[in-house]
Structure 1
Amino acid sequence: MERNHVFIYTKTDETSQQKKSILSEKLLQAKFQVVENPKKANIIVSLGSDGAFLQAVRKTEFRQDCLYAGISTTGTLSMYCDFHFHDLETAISSIRSSDIEIRRYPILQVSVDNNPHFYCLNEFSIRSNVIKTFVLDVFIDDLHFETFRGDGMVISTPTGSTAYNKSVNGAVVDPLLPCFQVSELASVNSNKYRTLGSSFLLSNQRKLILSLKLGGNDFPTMGMDNEALSIQHVQQVEVALSDKIIKTVKLKNNSFWEKVKRTYL
């Protein structure tokens, strides 16, 4: 199937919509079809920053049968935005290429109690919603690993390891490794509560279970990438690496580690 149906995701403000119109015109000139229904697209383009890319993936339901591409309108490239808005020709020619290479990003699958599961490209976070620590029993598969007391935890994918996870001193992880990372937020270590005290990695064969200890803090603040999740009376959260992946354009001289160097060094 020819890849030429494009859906453009961006904000609804006037400036963003003007940029969308410019991109749409250039795509039409290049013989692409611009569609308003993402279900009819086989290419999904985000205009904006990494936040826009995350929203584009989420709003289009983590499509497995299409290609995602991020175009930066901020003047700088980022972890998910490989193209500049002022150089749309490069983006269009890269997407059009018949020998295009695909980069595959792993995603998390998260279940909260009996609610339908959802996906995260960057990370899932769970935090106390009041000015008080809360307690989590942490299980790896069927092993009770530790009892955590503190502000919360961040569970990140390898690509998400450069985001919230990095800000809490988690490791930056190569996305070629099929794993996910667990990082603590302000853990309390005492005679009663003892945690590993450092981030750790779990393979795609593992399952992480967080069981909340009740005590007036069973309505935690949970985040899936850059969106909040509102579920009351949470008892258990289950996290694993999904079999699904997000496909993006793979460019020469733009590996994950080149992106890390460009962004942070």
Structure 2
Amino acid sequence: MKFAIQSKGDDTSNELKDQIKSHLRGFELAYDEEEPDIVISVGGDGTLLHAFHRYVDRLSQTAFVGVHTGHLGFYADWTPDEVEKLVIHLAKTPFQVVEYPLLEVTIRFNSEGLEKRYLALNECTVKSMEGSLVIDVIIKGEKFETFRGDGLCISTPSGSTAYNKALAGAIIHPSLPSIQLAEMASINNRVFRTVGSPLVLPQHHTCNLRPVNDVNFDISIDHLFLVHKDVKSIQCRVADERVRFARFRPFPFWKRVKDSFIG
């Protein structure tokens, strides 16, 4: 089995990275940053997001496992004092693969046929670079509402515990292939009226966001912040691809939620 390690970059994480690499090589596992079978994230959830996007083109061949070196990571199952146990599992134990849904974001431009496609593990946010965001929300080809406010957040089930939760969105179990649309400070008056609640869309529903005016957009894909001009529409749906996590022991989702937010 080939492995790679993504470190947060601090002294503690780098030391653990070197330790894990040395131990796994001692078990004759090959270190391969180009085509790993498993990627070990050492740091926090942000480190795992970086690892996900680094290997986003290998999701069907690569599984991820996280070691958290700071506060409890939502995606990280292992603590630094469990590294030796993790190494033995990696070297000796076949792992169970747990798959989570992803968000597909396709940005189409007014230029003929031009589009860009992204995958998000947590969420995509859409904001205007010039004042309030004014955008039509189209669900299954039918206009649902015209949104005016600070922005919109479209999240995955696993990402529902991130920015979405801060926007009073629901926490969704990742066994449900869905996406969630949450508002950021919507403006409601006689001209603009929104539903005012987060929307959970199933796998077979597509959400299209169509600008009402010609502005530049600040669009985030997880930790990546992008500026796009001349946008015609932003299509959001459950992706065909899924992220794969390596599990060597049970870690139920609701226990993860409890440990992360309640303690």
TM-score by length of 1: 0.91
Q: Quickly say closer, same or farther: Cα 1:151–1:181, change in 2 above 3 A.
A: same
* 1:166-215 per-position Cα deviation (integer Å, ceiling 9, x unaligned): 00100000111111100000011111111110001001101110001115
* 1:66-105 per-position Cα deviation (integer Å, ceiling 9, x unaligned): 211111111x432111111222122223334544221111
Once residues 24 and 141 of structure 2 are traced to their aligned partners in structure 1, the CA distance between those partners, rounded to angstroms, is: 51
Once residues 228 and 128 of structure 2 are traced to their aligned partners in structure 1, the CA distance between those partners, rounded to angstroms, is: 13
* 1:97-132 per-position Cα deviation (integer Å, ceiling 9, x unaligned): 5442211111111111132211000000011224x2
Query: How far off its partner does 1:162 sit?
Result: 0.1
- State the partner residue of 1:69: 65
Once residues 162 and 239 of structure 2 are traced to their aligned partners in structure 1, the CA distance between those partners, rounded to angstroms, is: 19
Counterparts of residues 44-55 of structure 1 (less than 5 Å):
44-55=39-50
Counterparts of residues 51-200 of structure 1 (less than 5 Å):
51-62=46-57, 63-74=59-70, 76-96=71-91, 98-113=93-108, 114-130=114-130, 132-200=131-199
**Residues 213, 235 of structure 1: 8 Å contact kept:** no
Q: Which amino acid aligns with 2:2?
A: H
Once residues 164 and 115 of structure 1 are traced to their aligned partners in structure 2, the CA distance between those partners, rounded to angstroms, is: 26
- Aligned residues between the structures: 256
**Residues 65, 247 of structure 2: 8 Å contact kept:** no
**Residues 209, 239 of structure 1: 8 Å contact kept:** yes
User: Which ranges in structure 1 are unaligned for 5 or more consecutive residues?
Assistant: none
- State the partner residue of 2:210: 211
User: Which ranges in structure 2 are unaligned for 5 or more consecutive residues?
Assistant: 109-113
Once residues 225 and 187 of structure 1 are traced to their aligned partners in structure 2, the CA distance between those partners, rounded to angstroms, is: 22
Once residues 97 and 109 of structure 1 are traced to their aligned partners in structure 2, the CA distance between those partners, rounded to angstroms, is: 35
Q: Which amino acid aligns with 1:164?
A: Y
Query: How far off its partner does 1:251 sit?
Result: 4.5
Give aligned-pair identity as a percent.
29
- State the partner residue of 2:111: none
**Residues 137, 144 of structure 2: 8 Å contact kept:** yes
Q: Which moved more, 1:25-34 or 1:151-160?
A: 25-34
TM-score by length of 2: 0.92
**Residues 12, 69 of structure 2: 8 Å contact kept:** no
Q: Which moved more, 1:101-110 or 1:162-171?
A: 101-110
